[in-house]
Structure 1
Amino acid sequence: MIAKIFPKSSGSFKKRIRYIFGCTKHDHAISEIRTISLNCLAADPLPSLQGGSEKGVLAMIAEFDQVETMRRMSVDSDRPIKPVFHAMLSLRPGEHLNDEQWAQAVQTYMHDLGFGEDNKYVVVMHRDTDHEHVHIVANRIHLDEDFRLVSDSNERAASMDSASDLEDMFGLSKAPRPTETWGTTFSHAEVKAATSENDIPHKARMIAKIAGCIERTQAEGGDMFTLVRHLRRQQVYIHLTKNEEGQPKGIAYEYAGKVISGRKLKRSRLTFHKLITQEGISYDPETIHELEIEIARRDQDDQNGVEKRFVYVRFFSKTRRFDVKFEPKSKAEREIDALVEAIQRFLSAIFGIPFESKKEKERRESKYVEYYPDIALTRDMFIAAKMREHDESPSI
């Protein structure tokens, strides 16, 4: 079961209630809508809607809106509030709950989020897709003497926990937690635009690029510098916001001219805090100045031509010489030096001779042993290279 809470809003409930009952321009035909439960004085508006009248819907809207009017008359406060709550519970394709089970599920879910019988609510089911789902519209204002608001502190965590409990209660398949996936939701406008252009939503493309870079960084045991370089190669750039101590407190991602905060992309994985504490991307606060310099770069890290992608190194002693071409993960000096040192140790271990190295940029005419970071070096590589060199040398 997927539980989604839509952004809360102030003002009238008109837009949300008309939407869930199929009065606005969307794909939900009224015949595919069923009222599951409500605690309003107003009658179920579906019968009148099926007869072509919105009179019942307007009566329900007025009842929901009246609660905030009563609160303003009783509570001496100018603090703005957002009483309009809208959530959706959705099953996987092929799963089903009957009306009584849906009513029980919604009652449990709303109780877990802090709603009570003194909160106006209405629940309807839409059946026009391959997965059953219900919409919940509720008023966050309690109809008590204080007109308290339902707290939204830790709301999303409570929502996920409640959905998990409902899966167990009704024997439904377990949906992965947001921290276990890269999936996200997209607005109707994003999906519509992507469909018309035969493309996936911009946000989905951005998340896919970022997710791949994070996973590559994790596989390499890399740090924040490594992640920045991988992102840059995907033409994704980051922007940091800093706290009073000059340390990162927020992160946003830029791709194709659009900048979206990590919180809006996927708050459970892509904020700066989550990158460090959950995704395991190490960061040393002492390196903030160097990190900002790295972030400011806009070149593509060795992606603009073969001559920039490879480093050519010649290892030689008095009697032996090997030319090695390798492709580093980055052109950062410390990584190149580490790779060179590793090759030197390898050659020294094989031949028992201390080797010196000289970097040569333009040596394409030489016969190289090619080294890639994800392929282990073996002695056979060097033997094969020497045999090729011998076979191709002119005979006397």
Structure 2
Amino acid sequence: MIGNQTKGRGFRGLLNYLESQKDAKLIGGNMGGNNARALAREFKISRQLNPEADRVVYHASLSLPENERLDEPTWNELANRYLEEMGFDSNQYVVYRHSNTEHDHIHICASRIRLDNGKIVHDSWDYKRSETIIRQLERDYGLQQTQSSHEKLSRNPSIGQQKRLEREHEEYINGERITPQERPIKQQLQELIDRATIDKLTMPQLVERLQLQGVEVRHGLTRNGKSKGISYSWNDQKFSGTSLGPAYTFPGLQKHKGIDYQPQRDDEHIEHLLKNPKEQAVESQRFINTIADFIEQSVVDDALAETLPQLTE
């Protein structure tokens, strides 16, 4: 089983997507609404408990291999266990099942704000914890053991580094350490690139998105116009694509993460981005802010559309 997770700011957009897919079905959760609009209104209950919180939307997908299927009660049980293990044991959530691919899979939309105390569910080591939980669920439910693309295609810490990280994490859990240990910069960068490539992008779009996150990208071409590779610099540390893993090299981004690269279309744009990273980041941020303002206004307009008829009755 392969899992993926992202965080966002707007419930309505995610719920609209989950509801709009062909043969999508709302199969579970702990909420009363039965459509995107009703559920979005209901999620406001948890939002009101922590109005200052940002990125409160949690989206997880769990997908089985082609030859496996689960019935709805089992999917619901599995989703509930996954959320509880991830720390969502007092949170609003719904489960949608999609049949738009060859892989039987579900999507979970949850609030990161706990209903019992209004605090945000912590997300430290969430990718690592998710993989550990999924491996255990596979064993408990007799499912095929499946490595995620991140596990297979990234360079993992050495055995010594891993033992140190596990020891420090255990010390934090037991109260012997005041603050959680910092994940290695290399792993943080891998996860940042994973999140940046979650949707289908062109290579220039990926470069621009990474620049917005503060990642310096370098890419060169030979005299014959072929790629010399890609490297990244983040938090004052430099990494070649090869050192991060096969999925982070220039051809690996295309093969394993679905990044679309067409030399004639993209090379000039990439070169401009690399020469003017700050300028491009500012322009991109302006665009994002404009879109965010538009979305926010759309939410206000939706609310007015619902409220005005009641006021005029």
Task: Give, in angstroms, the shift of residue 155 of structure 1.
Answer: 0.7
Secondary structure of the 2:122 match is coil
Say if 1:202 and 1:236 are closer, same or farther in 2 by CA, change over 3 A: farther
CA distance in 2, matches of 1:59, 1:237: 46
Of 79, 90, 111, which residue of structure 2 is paired with 1:139?
111
Note the alpha carbon deviations across 1:86-130, whole angstroms, 9 max, x for none.
Answer: 0100000020101111011101100110001x3110001001211
Match runs of 1:233-248 below 5 Å? 235-240=228-233, 243=236
Q: Match of 1:235, as an amino acid?
A: K
Runs of 4+ that moved beyond 6 A: none
1:189 maps to what in 2? 200
Say if 1:189 and 1:176 are closer, same or farther in 2 by CA, change over 3 A: closer
CA distance in 2, matches of 1:87, 1:62: 20
> Once the two structures are aligned, what percentage of the paired residues are identical?
25
| Structure with the largest fraction of helix | 2
Q: Retained in 1: the 8 A contact 2:49–2:113? A: no
Secondary structure of the 1:21 match is helix
> Which segments of 5 or more consecutive residues in structure 1 lack a partner in the other structure?
23-27, 46-56, 73-77, 195-200, 204-232, 244-248, 255-260, 271-396
CA distance in 2, matches of 1:33, 1:123: 10
> Which segments of 5 or more consecutive residues in structure 2 lack a partner in the other structure?
156-193, 207-225, 253-313
Tell me whether 1:14 sits opposite 2:25 in the alignment.
Answer: no
Say if 1:188 and 1:71 are closer, same or farther in 2 by CA, change over 3 A: closer
Secondary structure of the 2:50 match is helix
Q: Retained in 2: the 8 A contact 1:3–1:159? A: yes
Q: Match of 2:102, as an amino acid?
A: D
Q: CA RMSD in A?
A: 3.6
2:65 maps to what in 1? 92
CA distance in 1, matches of 2:31, 2:230: 50
Tell me whether 1:161 sits opposite 2:147 in the alignment.
Answer: no
1:106 maps to what in 2? 79
Note the alpha carbon deviations across 1:128-173, whole angstroms, 9 max, x for none.
Answer: 21110100000010112x3011111111111101111111122211
CA distance in 2, matches of 1:240, 1:33: 41
Q: Retained in 1: the 8 A contact 2:50–2:119? A: no
CA distance in 2, matches of 1:237, 1:70: 44
Of 82, 106, 114, which residue of structure 1 is paired with 2:55?
82
Q: Retained in 2: the 8 A contact 1:140–1:149? A: yes
Tell me whether 1:58 sits opposite 2:37 in the alignment.
Answer: yes
CA distance in 2, matches of 1:71, 1:242: 31
Secondary structure of the 1:71 match is coil
Q: How many residues align?
A: 192
1:251 maps to what in 2? 239
Which structure has the larger Rg over C-alpha atoms?
1
Give the structure-1-normalised TM-score. 0.43
Task: Give, in angstroms, the shift of residue 37 of structure 1.
Answer: 0.8
Secondary structure of the 1:135 match is strand
CA distance in 2, matches of 1:237, 1:128: 34
Say if 1:93 and 1:182 are closer, same or farther in 2 by CA, change over 3 A: farther
Of 168, 176, 191, which residue of structure 1 is paired with 2:147?
176
Give the structure-2-normalised TM-score. 0.53
Tell me whether 1:128 sits opposite 2:100 in the alignment.
Answer: yes
CA distance in 2, matches of 1:91, 1:9: 24
Q: Retained in 1: the 8 A contact 2:4–2:61? A: yes
1:69 maps to what in 2? 48
